[in-house]
Chains A and B, each alone.
Chain A
Amino acid sequence: MITTVAIILDGFGFAAWLFLSSVGLTLIYGVMRILNISHGGFYALGAYSAAWAVGLYTQTGNTIALTYLIIPLAAIIVGTLTGLLVERGLLRFMYGHEEVLMVLVTYAVFLILEDATKLIWGTESYVAYQPAYWLGTIDVAGIPYTIYKFLIIGTALAVGAGLYWGLNRTRAGKLLLVVIHDREVSAALGINVTLFFTVTFVIGTTLGALGGALTAPEISVVPGIGAEVIVMAFAVIVIGGMGSVGGAMIGAVIVGFARALSVHLYPPIEMFSIYLVMAMVLAIKPYGLFALAEGRKI
């Protein structure tokens, strides 16, 4: 019983982190067809800026409650500004090139961002545990869980719901769906595709930064965290279908539960389990569970 409860909570807890870390990546791919390797760099920027800002703030001795505002604010500022800089300063000159070239370009951006974080924050680790501790813990079947973990699960659900609503219930979202399905027709209909590209990229990078910022209180923020997250994020969006926000959520849940099951029931296959699930899904659905339909162009 205890193990079952633990598997469920740990599965959802890990899935929430995975979804927050990967949803920006799949959104950018869906709209722009750019496999944004630099996503890990934005995750790291978000984590560093949040840890740094929380560290500065907590030194003042004021209430920790305000850190729950500082964390997303840090992610929004750094994600928006850096996203704009990368898209306007570099990527817009590359549009129209092959996808593989964009992979190389965004990989270069990733390397630049990684060095930039080192230049700004150095190689020492940053810890900003206060927000994760302040809310305390709650016992579920005798196992203590931090309430902050539930906050992350809630945030992941809210981000998923917000994106669903934004894409399907707003005019801008519906126009974006049109751009996703066919850029050329969208442009012919008078939709400002370039603007949608910029906005989408900035939203994607901000979501990446938010993933890092929300994770910062639970980890030690060190150089290299961006490289680690990008591998997991790719596994998630490949399983869910590249470009699908709903797919990213399902992919995150599948990977989260695969890991939780293996950790609790048979730890030696923990690392292998994630890639086993990915291989099984791709064997049945080579483009992922919710891959976007591609129109055949002549």
Chain B
Amino acid sequence: MTKVSQLGKISRPLASTLALTLAIAPTTLFAQDSPTFKLGVVSFLSGGASGPFGVPSRNAAELIVDAMNKGTLPAPYDSVGFAGTLVEPLFVDEASKNVVADYQRLVQKDEVDGIVGYNSSGSCVAIAPEVEKLETLTVLSACGTSQIFEEIVTEPKYLFRAASHATMDNVAAARYVVEHTPEAVEKLSDIAGINQNYSWGFDSWRDFSASIKVLKDDVEIANEQFPKIFAGQYGAEISALLTARADVVHSSFWGGDLEALVIQGAGRGLFGRTQMVLTSSDTAIHRLGRQIPDGTIIGARGSYSIYAPKSDLNDWFRQAYYDRYGVYPVHPAYQMANAVLGMKAAADKAGVGTEEAIIANLKGLSYEGPGGTVDMALADGHQAITGSAYGTYKFDTETGLGTVENIVTYKAECINPPADLTSQEWITGGFVGADCE
């Protein structure tokens, strides 16, 4: 009895240790034997772009990767990881004086298998050549300049972009102004723009003004302003726009700059005197509420956020994002979700979660994101086209929430250039081949 008891005393710790070992063993073995896909996730985590853009992008990546690793995403993404390979995210701040050096560090020091992200066109322009030089899979999630594949990397192998470029935003905005705002169109003879002084702002204004001129004859540019990014003070620019007396004022401002423009412009009556078109403004709705004047044309850089179509994937994404972060996702979150899901779709299609498999299968792929179909149709299958939507702002005094009305959705083929033409060739040529039915 005593011996048995002693044996029992000894065997209990032994049994516990054995049980613990057995419990841990599969995980440990899995961790040691199963390679993970190391994914660099780059977005603004500090600076002026972090709140409206970088942090929602980061959060979306975190949410999708976590759910993906657990296999809890809705179908068709309900398998684990990238074709069974767990994904290990490494979050990096895009607010850097040297995004190229940061990119090199991710590839050479951190030895990531792939990179996803980048909010700013400035960042994308800087790293695009480096991607092909370092031969690492990189999926740009948000940046909008059309220069990436039309001028900088014309024969891509490793570089992809899972979002439409700025041409889509601005062609759709021009179509909405000309075709769906009769009051503005009747008197439309002068347009003006206020856009940030870098590639995103320049490209946006170029595409919008050129599109308007194609869609309606005899439209002149009354004024064009390009203040420094993050300037914050737009008193002089607003005065210049007020004195120009344009019928439509276009802006691709985003983040804090956009909110400052709305506060200062609405406060001085600019929004009441002209039809304002804000192509990247869904991020401001929950912050500014009634401060955005009714009738302002609101864009979300695609069918995202307030314009996202109903689907199981979108329902899950919105609710899961809200439950985890306390706010609903805005368009940078949708764009990041598209980028990560595109990599997963490519890996699942190949049945292998490797960089090579994703590169081979993401090219030309068409897949579903929470904002609708993403079609890698341009730049030899490396540049996405997506549909988009525009509407006019209406503040709901009963609910205290901002809404949009008069929503018009556009097919991707209506507002994106075909594969064999650059954006400018397509716009100035009169949107040849555009399918808007």
Contact = CB atoms under 8 A, between A and B. Distances in A.
* A and B associate in one complex: yes
B51 A222 contact: yes
Interface residues of B, number: 42
A228 interface: yes
Which among A218, A220, A268 has the highest number of chain B CB atoms within 10 Å? A220
Interface in B206-236: 223-228, 230-233, 235-236
Specify the main secondary structure of chain A where it touches its partner. helix
A48 interface: no
Interface in B355-395: none
B227 A270 contact: yes
Interface stretch (B18-26, B42-50, B309-317, B422-430): B42-50
B268 interface: yes
Contacts, number: 137
B260 interface: yes
Interface in A231-275: 259-260, 263-264, 267-268, 270-271
Nearest to B232: A219
Contacts of B242: 6, 143-144
Contact of B256 (A10, A143, A144, A222): A222
Nearest to B52: A125
A39 interface: no
B225 to A, nearest CB: 5
Nearest to B47: A224
Nearest to B242: A143
Interface size class of A (residues with CB under 8 A): 35 or more
B interface secondary structure, majority = helix
Nearest to B225: A267
A17 interface: yes
Q: Which of B50, B269, B287, B291 has the most CB of A within 10 A?
A: B50
Interface in B246-264: 255-260, 263-264
Interface in A138-187: 143-146, 149
5 contacts: A137-B269, A145-B268, A220-B260, A221-B256, A223-B48
Given A137-B268, A137-B269, A144-B268, A223 B51 contact: yes
Contacts of B255: 125, 220, 222
B299 to A, nearest CB: 18
A68 interface: no
A114 B45 CA distance: 13
A3 B239 CA distance: 9
A2 interface: yes
A129 B232 CA distance: 14
